[in-house]
Amino acid sequence: MHSLSHHRDGSTVTFQLAGVLDAMSAPSIGQEIDRTLAEEEQSQLVFDLSSLRLIDSRGIALLVAIYKRAQAAGQKVAVTGLRSQPAAMFKLLRLDRLFS
């Protein structure tokens, strides 16, 4: 089970992901994020992963793809709230250095 919510604060969009971000949920979450980002300009994206229990390679690939698109558009991307298994994955893959 997964959930995605977001809110805007000026030019910053914060996405809260909860549950599991895996091969089953990544495609629909990616579509929801793309729809949200197409609505307005933003200069910073924040992914709050404090309620995320599990992430797999597909979930990581989704976040990296969003990061690359945002960087190409001159936007900043941050990940907050990493804990448990997602934190271990980010450290293992050294993504904790990529996402400020």
Domains of the chain: 44-100 (3.30.750.24)
For the stretch 48-76, pLDDT in tens is 999 999 999 999 999 999 999 999 999 99
C-alpha 34: how far from chain center: 11
Assessment of whether the complete model's pTM goes beyond 0.85: yes
pLDDT one-digit tens code per residue, 17-35: 999 999 999 999 999 999 9
Provide the mean pLDDT of the chain: 93
Cα–Cα distances in angstroms (integers) from residue 47 to residues 19, 32, 42, 89, 97, in the given order: 14, 14, 14, 15, 15
